[in-house]
Chains A and B, each alone.
Chain A
Amino acid sequence: MKLSRVEFVNFKLLDGVVIDFSTEELKPLTVIRAANGSGKTSILYGLAWGIYGDPGLREDNLRLASSFQKIGAPITVQVVVDFEHTEDGISTSYVLTRSLEETPVSYERVEHKFKKLRLVKRLSAGEEEVKNPQQKLNQLFPLRLKDTFLTDGDKVQSFISGQEDRKERQHRVKEAIRGLLGLDNLEEVKRDLEHLERGFRKDLAEGGDKKLQEAQNHLTKAEIELNGLKQSRDEEAQKRAKIEDSIGTTEHELSEITGVGDIDQLNKEAASAGKAHSLAQKDMASYFENARAMFKSSEGFSWSLAEEPLREGQKVLADLADKGVIPGSSIGVLQDRLDIKTCICGESLEDGSSHRAQVEALIEEQSLISAERERLTATFHRTRAGLNSYESDCVDKRDFKSQRPLLLAQHADIEERLRDASARKRVVDEKIKLIDSEKVQRLTTRLAQAKRDHTESSEKIGALERSVALKDDERIISEKRFEEARKAAKGDDRARLRYEMTLDLKEVVTNTLNTLKTDHVRAISGLMNDLFMQIVGGNPELAGAVFRGVEISSDFDIVITSGDGALLDADFELNGASQRALTLAFIWALMEIADIVAPRLIDTPLGMTSGGVKQRMVEAISSPVTSGLLDYQVILLLTPSEIRDIESLLDERAGKYQTLSCSKDYPAELVHDWAEGGPRVRRCNCSHREYCEVCERTDDSSSGLDRRVS
């Protein structure tokens, strides 16, 4: 099936966003350009939820709407997916609508109510609602294949790498192959046929002679015992695999401890970091003391903060003094003159002189001026002196404004020292914890026990293998005896026919299974190798080639061989770009060989890739469908930096382009402010070469993009 269109209503920040997908065979690629945080991953999750419901998100009751939705306010979330499915050459259109009402009940929790799913088949005669819509969807988009249809590029290499251990990786590869090739279904059919075979065989024996009945009893007993032994062997093998994992983990932990370092040195480092931390804490206390001293109101602090209105007040006083409304400093000046006994005019103001008497009279006259005027005078003088002192502080950088940045710098410095000391202490403490001698002892004991368990388990498996082989021989002999007895016996023809038909059917299914398990897995392996080598640009024949090839081993592990024949570890010896290339090659090969027409949507597929690898990766996964090739659809969610250098290839391969933008990027990155209310994502029809009033980013016009004419 192929996706034609999807519409999101209130899914995360996607509200009213419609995406159209290319379904053209010659241009199977749809490009959705979106910067980080512009809704790419929401598209992936929205489609997963739309198609699969909660199981598509791996967790029930996840928040589906925007996290900006108010607590207690219900909102309807809806995803509508239009898709086409072709069966026996007939193409049918479907529309699925999934919706629910979401109410945030706290910052962490939401409640979902009124969950609805509707699937409608579009026929020429009109629409027909599909009964059991989820069942139908599960047939069309099996859940086990979700990660193959909808792939998160950043998790893409989990098939082959990441933090998966080898057993887990093998399991994932095996499950992916089993899922796409339908091995589970076939094995179930085989089991059903075996069950039928036993039933029909029993019927046949009951209608036959004693010899046939005895042979049938022996054969059934041998089969039951053989199955029991096989089951015990498989269980023991699983147990041994777990022991092997435990040995690996314990050895790894021990080797890490060995490389940690000397405990005395670590203790010294811990003490030094602790001391640095205490000193910084002491300085922080001193910073607070300094800050309190600064905020303890003083005349200087007051001037510094409210300089402008205070100066205005002083100007009022100065104007009054200019107009002679306030006496200014005349009383003080006259008093000074009396004290030094000489007048301004030079006359003597000796005690008893007439001039002194005149000045004393003047002082008394001035003193009669209202107390209010006097206060104004006093304020005028006092504040002028305060201002002078403040101005002098400013010159000497002792004022509040000059000291404030110093105090901030002091705080930043202490904070950094505290952080640094804490980080140092944490690192050393972690090392000390690791070197814990008790732990070493414990791990060593655990390792020794695990090795003993491993030997014991291997011996058990060996014994069980031998028993299985012996029992199988017994079963084969019993089967032969039963066949001989069956051929010799006269019995019910109908029962014989049913039995023989079941045997024939079982043989067909067994052969098919064997072909799938061997030939198809080999085919997947071969195609994966071709695609991988095409992407990484490697020619295994050339001297100095980095890779010789990749293959899927008989135990379902992906094995990478280097140019000089060494086996490479996918976790540690393959770079990010090669890991992505390998996983994409695996998924592509799997779908090709499984012959499944399905969308392949990948979020951020080209992260960590550049240059030729990027170009070849897109070339490999977006080839036009020509005759003989499987029809498919590929949807790439790309950031502008992933698009860089592959524009021409996208021109050639893409049938549909769209761009997503998120209003939260305005004004830092987006040029236009088009959002109303909370942040949201908008779609425009711009290709990777264009920009418009919705998606224009601050560097678009300088990066060679064209303004789109609508």
Chain B
Amino acid sequence: MSDASALYISQDLYLPKAFDDEFSDLLVGRKVDDTQPFPRKVDLWWATICIGASLGKYSAVAKDRVKFGTGQVLASEQWRIAHMELLALAREGEEALRTPAKVVRIADEYGTAGIAWITEHLRGESNPTLKLLVEIDKIGDHRLHVDLS
């Protein structure tokens, strides 16, 4: 088997600047006694992708973005690459896997929808961890609703 991470090593990771400015400090805490839900920015980024995918929603990525990591992060956790590829395959078929940039872009597009959801549900929250735990369960209801309709 070939090492997929070699293909993705040049793919930098980004978050929209406005979102990063407003939410990163509120949602990402590295210290032991921090109360933010996510230990790293990559976890926040990944959660936005999963949320967007779970909602079945995606939209164009923001133009003004800030880089928070390199493909090295992906290399250390290869399951992410596999999952990004599954999301790309589910949406656009095997053609989507032609270029790693496209796979990452599709993931980021789901991430944009996830960011909108986080903005809507967590803006102004004093206890984002609790709110996230409560609200995240309702995403399934939404998806079910879409399925039924």
Chain A interface residues toward B at CB < 8 A:
285, 288-289, 291-293, 295-299, 301-302, 305-310, 312-317, 320, 371-372, 374-379, 381-383, 386, 401, 404, 407-408, 411
Interface residue stretch chosen among B18-26, B47-55, B64-72: B47-55
Indicate if the CB atoms of B79 and A316 lie closer than 8 Å. no
In order of increasing CB-CB distance, the 3 nearest A-B pairs are A313-B86, A312-B90, A305-B50
Q: State whether the Cβ of B56 lies closer than 8 Å to any Cβ in chain A.
A: yes
Q: State whether the Cβ of B78 lies closer than 8 Å to any Cβ in chain A.
A: yes
- Kindly report which residue of chain A lies nearest to residue B43, judged by CB atoms: A297
Indicate if the CB atoms of B129 and A291 lie closer than 8 Å. yes
Indicate if the CB atoms of B43 and A316 lie closer than 8 Å. no
Chain B interface residues toward A at CB < 8 A:
1-2, 4, 7, 29, 32-40, 42-43, 46-47, 49-51, 53-54, 56, 77-80, 82-83, 85-91, 93-94, 97-98, 129-130, 132-134, 136-137, 139, 143
With A and B bound together, what is the CA distance between A306 and B80 in angstroms?
12
CB distance from B75 to the nearest CB of A (A): 14
**Given A291-B129, A309-B86, A382-B78: A302 and B94 within 8 A (CB)?**
no
**Given A295-B43, A316-B94: A383 and B37 within 8 A (CB)?**
no
CB distance from A281 to the nearest CB of B (A): 10
With A and B bound together, what is the CA distance between A306 and B86 in angstroms?
11
Indicate if the CB atoms of A309 and B97 lie closer than 8 Å. no
Residue contacts A-B, CB under 8 angstroms, 5 given:
A297-B80, A308-B54, A313-B86, A374-B1, A377-B1
Indicate if the CB atoms of A292 and B36 lie closer than 8 Å. yes
**Which of A291, A302, A306, A404 lies at the interface centre, i.e. has the most chain B CB atoms within 10 A of its CB?**
A306
With A and B bound together, what is the CA distance between A285 and B31 in angstroms?
11
Q: Of A309, A320, A376, A411, which is within 8 A of B53 by CB?
A: A309
**Given A297-B43, A317-B89: A376 and B97 within 8 A (CB)?**
yes
**Given A288-B34, A383-B86: A375 and B4 within 8 A (CB)?**
yes
Q: Of A291, A310, A316, A382, which is within 8 A of B37 by CB?
A: A291
With A and B bound together, what is the CA distance between A291 and B132 in angstroms?
10
**Which of B32, B78, B97, B129 lies at the interface centre, i.e. has the most chain A CB atoms within 10 A of its CB?**
B129
**Given A309-B56, A379-B4: A299 and B83 within 8 A (CB)?**
yes
Indicate if the CB atoms of B90 and A378 lie closer than 8 Å. no
Indicate if the CB atoms of A383 and B82 lie closer than 8 Å. yes
With A and B bound together, what is the CA distance between A506 and B132 in angstroms?
83
CB distance from B68 to the nearest CB of A (A): 14
A310-B87, A374-B1, A378-B1 are known contacts; what are 9 more A-B pairs with Cβ within 8 Å?
A: A296-B43, A305-B136, A309-B91, A313-B86, A315-B90, A316-B89, A316-B93, A386-B79, A408-B133
Indicate if the CB atoms of B130 and A302 lie closer than 8 Å. no
- Kindly report which residue of chain B lies nearest to residue A378, judged by CB atoms: B1
With A and B bound together, what is the CA distance between A408 and B134 in angstroms?
8
Indicate if the CB atoms of A378 and B133 lie closer than 8 Å. no
With A and B bound together, what is the CA distance between A354 and B79 in angstroms?
40
Which chain A residues border B49 with CB–CB below 8 Å?
Answer: 306
With A and B bound together, what is the CA distance between A310 and B133 in angstroms?
22
**Given A375-B2, A383-B82: A292 and B29 within 8 A (CB)?**
yes
With A and B bound together, what is the CA distance between A296 and B27 in angstroms?
12
**Given A291-B129, A292-B29: A386 and B50 within 8 A (CB)?**
no
Which chain A residues border B137 with CB–CB below 8 Å?
Answer: 401, 404
Indicate if the CB atoms of A371 and B87 lie closer than 8 Å. no
Indicate if the CB atoms of A378 and B2 lie closer than 8 Å. yes
Which chain A residues border B86 with CB–CB below 8 Å?
Answer: 309-310, 312-314, 317, 379, 383
CB distance from B107 to the nearest CB of A (A): 10
With A and B bound together, what is the CA distance between A352 and B64 in angstroms?
62
Q: Of A291, A306, A383, which is within 8 A of B50 by CB?
A: A306
Indicate if the CB atoms of B82 and A297 lie closer than 8 Å. no
**Which of B80, B82, B91, B94 lies at the interface centre, i.e. has the most chain A CB atoms within 10 A of its CB?**
B82
Indicate if the CB atoms of A295 and B39 lie closer than 8 Å. yes
Indicate if the CB atoms of B38 and A316 lie closer than 8 Å. no
- Kindly report which residue of chain B lies nearest to residue A292, judged by CB atoms: B39
Which chain B residues border A408 with CB–CB below 8 Å?
Answer: 130, 133-134
Which chain A residues border B56 with CB–CB below 8 Å?
Answer: 308-309
Indicate if the CB atoms of A295 and B132 lie closer than 8 Å. yes
CB distance from A332 to the nearest CB of B (A): 8
With A and B bound together, what is the CA distance between A337 and B25 in angstroms?
54
Indicate if the CB atoms of A372 and B39 lie closer than 8 Å. no
CB distance from A482 to the nearest CB of B (A): 83
Indicate if the CB atoms of A379 and B85 lie closer than 8 Å. yes
**Given A309-B54, A376-B94: A302 and B39 within 8 A (CB)?**
no
With A and B bound together, what is the CA distance between A301 and B77 in angstroms?
13
CB distance from B23 to the nearest CB of A (A): 14
With A and B bound together, what is the CA distance between A371 and B39 in angstroms?
35
With A and B bound together, what is the CA distance between A315 and B40 in angstroms?
31
Which chain B residues border A314 with CB–CB below 8 Å?
Answer: 86
Which chain B residues border A305 with CB–CB below 8 Å?
Answer: 47, 50-51, 53-54, 136, 139
- Kindly report which residue of chain A lies nearest to residue B1, judged by CB atoms: A378
CB distance from B37 to the nearest CB of A (A): 5
Q: Of A288, A298, A376, which is within 8 A of B35 by CB?
A: A288
Which chain B residues border A315 with CB–CB below 8 Å?
Answer: 90
**Which of A292, A377, A381, A383 lies at the interface centre, i.e. has the most chain B CB atoms within 10 A of its CB?**
A292
Which chain B residues border A383 with CB–CB below 8 Å?
Answer: 79, 82-83, 86
Indicate if the CB atoms of A295 and B85 lie closer than 8 Å. no
- Kindly report which residue of chain B lies nearest to residue A387, judged by CB atoms: B86
Which chain A residues border B53 with CB–CB below 8 Å?
Answer: 305-306, 309-310
- Kindly report which residue of chain A lies nearest to residue B93, judged by CB atoms: A316
- Kindly report which residue of chain A lies nearest to residue B51, judged by CB atoms: A305
Indicate if the CB atoms of B38 and A295 lie closer than 8 Å. yes
Indicate if the CB atoms of B133 and A407 lie closer than 8 Å. yes
Which chain B residues border A289 with CB–CB below 8 Å?
Answer: 32
CB distance from B10 to the nearest CB of A (A): 16
Which chain A residues border B90 with CB–CB below 8 Å?
Answer: 309-310, 312-313, 315-316
CB distance from A272 to the nearest CB of B (A): 25
Indicate if the CB atoms of A382 and B82 lie closer than 8 Å. yes
Which chain A residues border B85 with CB–CB below 8 Å?
Answer: 313, 375, 379
With A and B bound together, what is the CA distance between A307 and B7 in angstroms?
25
